[in-house]
Chain A
């Protein structure tokens, strides 16, 4: 079991989960649309609308997949998303000339946060839940305290990311697609990807094999933070100006973990991949859109979502022979 997972390369069993999950999600969406007579939701525009619901959560979750694969976790992404969205709006102040500097500074911030998270977890030996909960609180606090002067709006031209498109396909979807493919490629086809699976599957084995496991963990955290940054930039473009609570209100920390695990990546690390995660994100998007069409009451929605999270993970976790905690 563990020796299997320690083998470099993605777990093959990840694929069926993702296809099954994606099929179920689309099936649910189509059935609900037909049943409620909202046939127009099945048009090109309707489908694009559905996929658009995936972008923000999708971007963070790709990054979350990287850290979970190395056996870590990142709870600071929600705060970082807020920070990036606020910072981007503040630096741009509506000026298109500042788009590039704003992006660079934001990604610089993400790099720094990722390095701190990674260092605390990999070199400090601090449990990742506590380390990233801590950094998240720190970011959130500094952000809320300085929001008074950190106001502004992104440049109109920057909003093209969220509102513009190519042949009817929004740029944001293309961005998600490209970044997903890139992440998938890195995990499946590169040495770095193989090391991520090795470190997550069997850290001792990986260390014996000469992999500097701390570096791999650190890099995974940097990737997670950068993807959170991408999500924050997208939200800034979509919302025109960031507020210090968009990350928290979006529950991007817990939801990104949930969709990753629903997608078949195991929390212990070493098994899973981006395809499953995206299928998990699609499930959440279809639920959102489907519940809207059905007119499900806001509180009942929460109940259903809780049950679905458990059920979706149970479906594949139940085959686990080992104990989980």
Chain B
């Protein structure tokens, strides 16, 4: 046994990259998400946070509750700008329903699984909550706590899932493969066979990010595009810029930059500026600073998204469940649009801070733009 482990570890050391990629390369899921990307969503036109893909609905009559209700939310944390924007969306959405919603209790687990389990247990045993929303820090760890909570009250999970069917519904956009497909196909369509792409990623081993890369990698391999490097930036702008400079200094020709998240996209582009090189083809995300740069420098770019408007959907779903309405389920798959050149102007908003996620679906919500850090 021990020998096997040691053996496994040493093999892992030499093939760490491939080993990770294989774990998150599921062809069936890839195919499913590719179909979902082109599916026509159902639900109210122009409100993607209230739309869904596919037909599944679940009945929630047994959870119906009259009068004012309290919704509790166990948040994994606000450790990155995506979650900051999302939490603002969620709070603003809750404000829309003041008449129905007595209280929204938000507890923050600060990125600790152990704390989030305790938080959920305390919320459930506190007895104040009529419905529980969970944004899990990691999938497996939160499963038992969510299972225990399901026995007491309706649970809604979003962003990451849990390994149990017990929540009323699990809200998420198409997913990581979808993100990688959108960005990978765009880059592949702009490059010749044999061109070089540099992949910049946040960190290894995270399910929602690994799937983005594996999808894009598949597409690059198919198109005969060479991935000259896959580097981890830790979301650090200085590190991102340094890594790109290192590749440039090495004399490597970089035709495109693919990113699994766009928060350091402008730092990557600055490395090309400082070296006096033309901008590469680039895939970023829906952050304002990237969109502005794209617009002002006329980049060849795409902004795939993992929309933050799903945080709104969580509140909508919780209230629908307490109203006893049918909701999409057991998975509520939200559309996952990408920002392309033709719609770019619509998403640029000079009032908003640099890392504001434009697909927040929050423009009509109370407190926009100040609540999200924007100028009046």
Contacts and interface: CB of A to CB of B under 8 A. Distances in A.
Asked whether the complex places CB atoms of A and B closer than 8 A, the reply is: yes
Interface of A: 38, 40-41, 43, 45-46, 49, 52-53, 56, 87, 90-91, 98, 101, 105, 142, 144-151, 153, 159, 163, 235, 238-241, 243-244, 246, 249-250, 288-289, 292, 295, 298-299, 301
A46 B112 CA distance: 20
Nearest to B78: A298
Interface stretch (B117-125, B300-308, B320-328, B337-345): B117-125
B28 interface: no
A56 B114 contact: yes
A240 B13 contact: no
B19 A148 contact: yes
A151 B140 CA distance: 12
A292 B122 contact: yes
Interface in B1-34: 1-2, 5, 8-9, 11-13, 15-16, 18-20, 22-23
B64 interface: no
B316 to A, nearest CB: 22
Contact of B122 (A49, A148, A295): A49
Contacts of B106: 295
B77 interface: yes
Given A52-B121, A240-B144, A40 B126 contact: yes
Contacts of A149: 8-9, 11-12, 19
B248 interface: no
A101 B138 CA distance: 26
Interface in B89-145: 105-108, 110-115, 117-119, 121-122, 125-128, 138, 140-141, 143-144
B121 A243 contact: no
B115 A288 contact: yes
B2 A105 contact: yes
A179 to B, nearest CB: 17
22 contacts: A40-B126, A49-B125, A90-B8, A91-B5, A146-B13, A148-B19, A148-B20, A148-B23, A148-B205, A149-B9, A150-B12, A151-B23, A163-B144, A235-B113, A238-B141, A246-B112, A249-B112, A288-B118, A292-B107, A292-B122, A298-B78, A298-B108
B125 to A, nearest CB: 5
B204 interface: yes
A180 to B, nearest CB: 18
A295 B11 contact: no
Given A56-B114, A239-B138, A243-B205, A45 B12 contact: no
Given A159-B144, A241-B141, A288-B115, A41 B12 contact: no
Given A52-B121, A249-B111, A146 B140 contact: no
A249 B297 CA distance: 39
A49 to B, nearest CB: 5
A105 B4 CA distance: 12
Contact of B112 (A52, A240, A241, A250): A250
Given A91-B1, A295-B106, A241 B140 contact: yes
A98 B4 CA distance: 14
Nearest to B232: A144
A275 B111 CA distance: 28
B140 A153 contact: yes
Contacts of B205: 144, 147-148, 243-244
A49 B121 contact: yes
Contact of A87 (B5, B13, B77, B126): B5
Contacts of A159: 144
A288 B108 CA distance: 10
B236 to A, nearest CB: 16
Contacts of A243: 138, 141, 205
Most A Cβ at <10 Å: residue of B112, B141, B205:
B141
Contacts of A298: 77-78, 108, 110
Nearest to A243: B138
A216 to B, nearest CB: 30
B258 to A, nearest CB: 21
Nearest to B138: A243
Contacts of B119: 292
A145 B122 contact: no
Most B Cβ at <10 Å: residue of A98, A101, A246:
A246
A41 B141 CA distance: 24
Q: Report the 7 A-B pairs with minimum CB-CB distance, sorted nearest first.
A: A148-B19, A146-B12, A239-B141, A148-B20, A298-B108, A149-B12, A145-B16
Given A91-B5, A244-B205, A148 B117 contact: no
A54 B332 CA distance: 36
A301 B108 contact: yes
A148 B12 contact: yes
Contacts of B128: 38
B5 A289 contact: no
B9 A142 contact: yes
A145 B14 CA distance: 9
Contacts of B78: 298-299
Given A249-B112, A295-B105, 20 more contacts: A38-B126, A45-B125, A46-B122, A91-B5, A101-B1, A105-B5, A145-B13, A145-B16, A146-B16, A148-B16, A148-B23, A153-B140, A239-B138, A240-B140, A240-B143, A243-B138, A249-B111, A295-B106, A298-B77, A301-B110
